[in-house]
C-alpha cells in the first residue's frame, strides 16, 4: 500500500516523497484514514512505528481546508509529556506541512515565556505543547481555545506517569465540546481507559502490536557486572568496540553527571540531558548527538520518549529502570522504522528483581554475557518465567464438598508445573 491510497492530498504526498517515505507503516495505514474521516482515535503501538505521522498527516489535511485563525487562538492542539518530544513533534509538523499555508508553534517550560506569547499573538493553526506551560500561557490570556477543532494526546501513558492528569483535565475543560480527539499511547492501561471515558466518542481502536513488546529488529542482551564497575565496563565497551552514537540511560541526575565525568576522563566525547539542565543545554546536547559530534549521550528517563534519531545503533541501560514499562520505551529509541539495533543492559546482582520484572513483562529471558576482565564477584540470579498457556474450556464444577480442600497455587519447577498447599508450612 502507498500513501496515495490513503487519501492524502498532493501537498502532503509531495512532502512525504521529499523525506523518502513511500510505504506507510501499520499504524499509519489504520490511523490516517480514521483521522481523515474525522473519527476519534484510540491507538496503541510500540515506539518507533511512525505513529507521529499517523496523526500529524490527517491533522494537517483537515486544517488545510479550514478558515483563518484568530489572534491568540489555535485550531489544533497536540499535548506531549516532555520538551524533547514536543520539539520532535513540532519538527514533524513543519516537515509534513511545508507545502501548506499553515502556521505552527511549540511551547514548553524551562525557557522564557515572552517569545512564546509573541508567537501566539497572530494565531497558530497547530500548537504542540507540554501541559504545564500551556496552562501558564492560558492563565495570561496568551492562548485561547474557542477555535480548537482537533486534540491529540501523544504518549498519554507517559503523561499520566509524570502526574499530568490534573493539568490534562484542566485543559480539557477549556476546550470546545465539539472537536475531534486522537489519543496515542504505548499501552491501554486501566488509567488510560479511565481517561478516555467522556473524552473519546465512539473511537476507532487501533493496536498494531502486542502490548509491552520491543521491535523485533532490536537485539536485547545483558552484561553481568558488579555495580561499582559499571562505568568502567561501559567505557571499555565503547572504546574496545569502536561504538559511535551510544545512548545511555541512568536512573538519577547525579548518576548522569558522574558518568559524564568518567567518560570524559577516558577521552570519550559525551553530554548529558536531565531535568536540572537548562533547555538550551538539553537542546544543544541532543543536536550534537544527532550530528555525531559527540559519541555518547547520557539521559535520564525524561528523554526516553523524546529522542528520534534515524538508525541509532544501540541503547545501553547503565541502570535498570524501576518501572518495567520504561525499559520498553528506552530500548525503543533504537531499531526504529525497521532498522537493526541493540538494547544492552549492564546488570548487577542487586538488580535481579528489576530484571525479573522486565523479563516477565516482555515474556522472554534475556541472553546473559560476561566481559573478560569484568567477571562479577556476585552473579545475577537466574529468573524463572511462567509459561503463558492457552486457557482450557471450563469444566462443570463438581458438587460442593462439605470440607473445602486447601487452596492450591501453581509453582514452576523447571519445565513443568507443580502444585503446593499454600495453607501449610513447608
**Cα–Cα distance measured from residue 310 to residue 283, given in angstroms and rounded to the nearest whole number:** 17
pLDDT at 419 over 70: no
Q: What is the pLDDT of residue 281?
A: 86
Residue 209: pLDDT band by 50, 70, 90 thresholds?
low
Q: Where are the domains of the chain?
A: 3-207, 218-369
> Average pLDDT in the 112-117 region?
95
Per-residue confidence band for 280, with pLDDT thresholds at 50, 70 and 90: confident
Q: What is the pTM of this model?
A: 0.67
- 218-369 has which fold? Rossmann fold (3.40.50)
From 57-66, 154-163, 287-296, the region with the lowest mean pLDDT:
154-163
Instruction: Judge whether residue 229 has pLDDT over 90.
Output: yes
Is the pLDDT confidence value at 405 over 50? no
Domain 3-207 shares a fold with domain 218-369: yes
CA distance 85 to 407: 49
**Cα separation, 309 vs 291, whole angstroms:** 10
Name beta bridge partners: 206: 43
The pLDDT, as a whole number, for residue 392 is 47
Residue 147 is predicted with a pLDDT of 96
184-206 mean pLDDT: 83
High-pLDDT (> 90) share of the chain, %: 58
- Residue 297 contacts residue 249 (beta carbons within 8 Å): no
Cβ neighbours for 47, distance < 8 A, ≥ 6 positions apart: 186, 305, 328, 329, 332, 333, 336
| Residue 83: per-residue pLDDT | 87
User: Would you state the torsion angle of the CA atoms of residues 202, 206, 211, 215, taken in this order, to the nearest 10 degrees?
Assistant: -160
- How does the average pLDDT of the chain come out, rounded? 85
What is the secondary structure of 256-307 as a DSSP string?
HHHHHHHHHHTT--EEEE-TTS-HHHHHHHHHHHHTTSSSEEEE-GGGTTT-
The pLDDT of residue 272? 92
Helix (H) or strand (E) run with residue 107 in it = strand 104-107
The 8-class DSSP code of residue 365 comes to P
- What confidence score (pLDDT) does residue 402 get? 40
Contacts of 112 (CB under 8 A, 6+ apart): none
> Do the Cβ atoms of 266 and 317 come closer than 8 Å?
no
Task: Write the class of the CATH domain 3-207.
Answer: alpha beta
Give the mean pLDDT of 314-324.
Answer: 93
Residue 170 reports pLDDT greater than 90: yes
pLDDT of residue 333: 81
> Residue 242: is it exposed, middle or buried by C-beta count within 10 angstroms (0-12/13-18/19+)?
exposed
What is the number of helices (H) and of strands (E) in the chain? 14, 16
171 membership: H or E segment, kind and range: helix 165-174
Amino acid at each position: 500500500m502507498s500513501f496515495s491510497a490513503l487519501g492524502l492530498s498532493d501537498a502532503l504526498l509531495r512532502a512525504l516523497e521529499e523525506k523518502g517515505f513511500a510505504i506507510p507503516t501499520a499504524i499509519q495505514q489504520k490511523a490516517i484514514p480514521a483521522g481523515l474521516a474525522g473519527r476519534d482515535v484510540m491507538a496503541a503501538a510500540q515506539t518507533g512505528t511512525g505513529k507521529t505521522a499517523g496523526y500529524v498527516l490527517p491533522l494537517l489535511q483537515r486544517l488545510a481546508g479550514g478558515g483563518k485563525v484568530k489572534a491568540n487562538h489555535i485550531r489544533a492542539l497536540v499535548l506531549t509529556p516532555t520538551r524533547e518530544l514536543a520539539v520532535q513533534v513540532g519538527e514533524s509538523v513543519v516537515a509534513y506541512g511545508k507545502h501548506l499555508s499553515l502556521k505552527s508553534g511549540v511551547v514548553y517550560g524551562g525557557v522564557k515565556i515572552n517569545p512564546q506569547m509573541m508567537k501566539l499573538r497572530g494565531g497558530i493553526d497547530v500548537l504542540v505543547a507540554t501541559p504545564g506551560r500551556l496552562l501558564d500561557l492560558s492563565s495570561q490570556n496568551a492562548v485561547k481555545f474557542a477555535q480548537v477543532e482537533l486534540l491529540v494526546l501523544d504518549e498519554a501513558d507517559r503523561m499520566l506517569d509524570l502526574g499530568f492528569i490534573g493539568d490534562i483535565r484542566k485543559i480539557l475543560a477549556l476546550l470546545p465540546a465539539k472537536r475531534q480527539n486522537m489519543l496515542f499511547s504505548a499501552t491501554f492501561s486501566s488509567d488510560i481507559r479511565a481517561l478516555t471515558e467522556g473524552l473519546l466518542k465512539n473511537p476507532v481502536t487501533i493496536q498494531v502490536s502486542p502490548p509491552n513488546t520491543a521491535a523485533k529488529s532490536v537485539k536485547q542482551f545483558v552484561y553481568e557486572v558488579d555495580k561499582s564497575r559499571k562505568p568502567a565496563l561501559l567505557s571499555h565497551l565503547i572504546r574496545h568496540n569502536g561504538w559511535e552514537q551510544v545512548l545511555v540511560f541512568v536512573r538519577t541526575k547525579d548518576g548522569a553527571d558522574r558518568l559524564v565525568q568518567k567518560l570524559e576522563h577516558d577521552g570519550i566525547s559525551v553530554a548529558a540531558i536531565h531535568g536540572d539542565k537548562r533547555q538550551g543545554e538539553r537542546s544543544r546536547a541532543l543536536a550534537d548527538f544527532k550530528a555525531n559530534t559527540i559519541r555518547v549521550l547520557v539521559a535520564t528517563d525524561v528523554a526516553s520518549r523524546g529522542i528520534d534519531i534515524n538508525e541509532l545503533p544501540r541503547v545501553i541501560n547503565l541502570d535498570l529502570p524501576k518501572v518495567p514499562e520504561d525499559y520498553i520505551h528506552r530500548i525503543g529509541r533504537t531499531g526504529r522504522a525497521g532498522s537493526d539495533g541493540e538494547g544492552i543492559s549492564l546488570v548487577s546482582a542487586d538488580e535481579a528483581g528489576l530484571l525479573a520484572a522486565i523479563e516477565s513483562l516482555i515474556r522472554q529471558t534475556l541472553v546473559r554475557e560476561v566481559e573478560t576482565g569484568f567477571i562479577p564477584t556476585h552473579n545475577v540470579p537466574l529468573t524463572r518465567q511462567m509459561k503463558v498457556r492457552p486457557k482450557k474450556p471450563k469444566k462443570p464444577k463438581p458438587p460442593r464438598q462439605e470440607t473445602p480442600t486447601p487452596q492450591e497455587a501453581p509453582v514452576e519447577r523447571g519445565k513443568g508445573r507443580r502444585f503446593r498447599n499454600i495453607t501449610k508450612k513447608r
